[in-house]
Structure 1
Amino acid sequence: MPTHYDITHTTIYRYKTPVTFGLHRVMFRPRDSHDLRVLATDLQVSPQAHVRMIQDPYSNSIALVQPMGEATELRIVCTFSIEHVVAPLDTLSLDPAAEMMPFAYAVHERLDLEHYLRPHYDDPDGTLIRWAHQFLYADGSNSTRDVLQRMNAHIGQSLSYVPRDEEGTQTPLQTLALGSGSCRDYALLMIEAARRLGVAARFVTGYLYDASLDTGGSEPGDSMTGAGSTHAWLHAYLPGAGWIAFDPTNNLMGSGGQLIRVGVARDPALAAPISGSWYGDPEAYEGLDASVVVRRISN
């Protein structure tokens, strides 16, 4: 049965003195597919702005927002109603040839997955590959799902979650050295580790449904890390099952109804929820307020 959600995403940039704004790239709209359907959308921008919608190379929906005139505040409010259908994990069977690691992708799939298979970050001393290999058991068979589930669980259990307001993502080696990171850092660490094990992986940005924050009724034990703002996780491409979600921040596999994807990319830098420019006194910038509310409407 589909579940319906209402989502409100609010971003406010504040300035001490009036500034003018350049073009802003907004990636807020949930990504339609067979399991997720957008029923209604609304985008409000203050000051008044010219808005046009495009699709990027990954077929993500992007709003190009050009605010008009000067202002001391840029406010962008996006609201959505969506229908989400969750497929039970036991229905997502892998191809027999991919059930155990290592496995090889079919040639026609590998051509399209190349950018998701190639590591994007250096590992000069082999630190990351050694870290990834700890999830492969030398004295037994390595189920592809089990290896990825072990890695997914280990990240959240062994690292300290530290939310960050500043833009950008730590490199995987920085995250391991610090022993901490945000959801974007956790996702990138697992993406790069999975790629070194021969698994295609991509970055996902979106929203996290947390039942404990839902005014429709709290459910004990359902509290999620990273709710209340944009969230990040990853997809691993498993032959026979397709793109499967892994959220190392909350040790989730599959959407389970909690993960609502907005955009995908081969690297976090290509999936920023919002980016843009402004012109004025360099000391004018005062700060950013951002919030996300995800409410379940019906089952």
Structure 2
Amino acid sequence: MTRVSIKHKIDYSYSHKVLLSPHRFRLAPQRYTQAIIDGYSFVLRPANRLYWQHDVYGNKMARADFDAKTDFMSVEVTLEIELTSLNPFDVLVDDELQYFPFLYPSIVKNALLPYLQIVDRSSALTAFVGCTEKFHGETLSFLVKLNQHVSNHIRYVHRLESGVQSCEMTLRSRTGSCRDTAWLMVQALRRLGLASRFVSGYLIQLGTTSGDSVELHAWAEVFIPGASWIGLDTTSGLFTSEGHIPLAIGPGPEQVALVEGLTEPCSATMTYQFELTNH
């Protein structure tokens, strides 16, 4: 078991004092995270009225209402976490679904409909999914090969632009950020008849050649009856582990924005920083 502390700070600066609309922050860990959350704090400035809510997908949100104009906004999240090594393959897939392809039982499929909607129907994605037929077989093995295929096919880039690329753009350029390849995986899985969802969260990495680190990250999850939701990290080509701390989950990127809100017209800048302490 390893204990770590995370401090995540986001600072917004505005060119002049502006009114802020109600803001929503999805920066609280999900209850089902594989790590143990021992402590959590959320501090927001300037002065505000804060309400804790849940959205329709079960994400915990802090809603803030601001009364006065301001030329800044600052968010600071602190987490105390216990990380225990877990085996992502230690799951029990339902007997009748041990091999892919398969069909969900109707009662399960009806509950998963929001996560089966196909948004991208590009020919590039059709061709990409068609190449995965050779991976068919034992279900978990199929997911491993599919995840590695996406990771190997798309070169990771740190993309500063907001938003998510279309699957066609990611496939044509063969480059993408974590959120681009996660969205590609979500749509590829749905083309294959598998329910999938998009996840934003923290990725903690300890003992790497470049040292310990924490960063914002995105990945996909697929629903396999018996095993439940299985996380697929398309950047590394691995299943998610205890170092993946989900903050927001939904059918697509637009439902999992970590910060939502508007300001009066102005010029704005945003900076962020992380601190990771390994106890």
Q: Which residue of 1 aligns with 2:246?
A: 261
TM-score of the pair, normalised by structure 1: 0.85
What is the alpha-carbon distance in structure 2 between the residues aligned to residue 121 and residue 295 of structure 1? 41
Alpha-carbon contact 2:198-2:220 (below 8 Å) kept: yes
Q: Which residue of 1 aligns with 2:260?
A: 275
Q: Which residue of 1 aligns with 2:209?
A: 220
What is the alpha-carbon distance in structure 1 between the residues aligned to residue 174 and residue 211 of structure 2? 25
After TM superposition, give the deviation of residue 191 of structure 1 in Å.
Answer: 0.6
Alpha-carbon contact 2:41-2:78 (below 8 Å) kept: yes
Secondary structure, in 3 states, of the residue corresponding to 1:31? coil
1:247 lines up with 2:233 in the alignment: yes
After TM superposition, give the deviation of residue 228 of structure 1 in Å.
Answer: 4.5
Q: Which residue type is aligned with residue 64 of structure 1?
A: R
Alpha-carbon contact 1:209-1:295 (below 8 Å) kept: no
After TM superposition, give the deviation of residue 251 of structure 1 in Å.
Answer: 1.6
Q: Which residue of 2 aligns with 1:214?
A: none
After TM superposition, give the deviation of residue 20 of structure 1 in Å.
Answer: 2.1
Q: Which residue of 1 aligns with 2:142?
A: 147
Q: Which residue of 1 aligns with 2:273?
A: 291
Secondary structure, in 3 states, of the residue corresponding to 1:165? coil
RMSD (CA atoms): 2.2
Q: Which residue type is aligned with residue 291 of structure 1?
A: Q
What is the alpha-carbon distance in structure 1 between the residues aligned to residue 183 and residue 170 of structure 2? 9
After TM superposition, give the deviation of residue 31 of structure 1 in Å.
Answer: 0.5
Among 175, 179, 184, the residue aligned to 2:179: 184
What is the alpha-carbon distance in structure 2 between the residues aligned to residue 27 and residue 162 of structure 1? 25
Q: Which residue of 2 aligns with 1:116?
A: 115
Q: Which residue of 1 aligns with 2:203?
A: 208
After TM superposition, give the deviation of residue 97 of structure 1 in Å.
Answer: 1.7
* Structure 1: gaps (5+ residues): 212-217
After TM superposition, give the deviation of residue 118 of structure 1 in Å.
Answer: 2.1
**Percent pairwise identity:** 26
Name the CA shift for 1:247/1:17 in 2 (closer, same or farther; >3 Å).
same
TM-score of the pair, normalised by structure 2: 0.91
Structural mapping, 1:10-29, within 5 Å: 10-29=9-28
Q: Which residue of 2 aligns with 1:60?
A: 59
Secondary structure, in 3 states, of the residue corresponding to 2:215? coil
Q: Pick the structure with more strand per residue.
A: 2
After TM superposition, give the deviation of residue 85 of structure 1 in Å.
Answer: 5.0
Alpha-carbon contact 2:15-2:71 (below 8 Å) kept: yes
Q: Which residue of 1 aligns with 2:81?
A: 82
Spell out, residue by residue over 1:229-254, the C-alpha distance to the aligned partner (whole angstroms, 9 max, x if none). 32100111112111011000122213
Q: Which residue of 2 aligns with 1:230?
A: 216
Alpha-carbon contact 1:230-1:273 (below 8 Å) kept: no
What is the alpha-carbon distance in structure 2 between the residues aligned to residue 293 and residue 186 of structure 1? 26
After TM superposition, give the deviation of residue 3 of structure 1 in Å.
Answer: 4.6
Alpha-carbon contact 2:3-2:82 (below 8 Å) kept: yes
Could you list the structure 1 runs, at least 4 aligned residues long, displaced by more than 6 angstroms after superposition. Answer: none
After TM superposition, give the deviation of residue 174 of structure 1 in Å.
Answer: 1.6
Q: Which residue of 2 aligns with 1:103?
A: 102
Alpha-carbon contact 1:13-1:74 (below 8 Å) kept: yes
Alpha-carbon contact 1:35-1:86 (below 8 Å) kept: no
What is the alpha-carbon distance in structure 1 between the residues aligned to residue 20 and residue 33 of structure 2? 37
Secondary structure, in 3 states, of the residue corresponding to 1:229? strand
* Structure 2: gaps (5+ residues): none
Alpha-carbon contact 2:201-2:247 (below 8 Å) kept: yes
Alpha-carbon contact 2:204-2:215 (below 8 Å) kept: no
Q: Which residue of 2 aligns with 1:128?
A: 125
Alpha-carbon contact 1:208-1:259 (below 8 Å) kept: yes
After TM superposition, give the deviation of residue 116 of structure 1 in Å.
Answer: 1.0
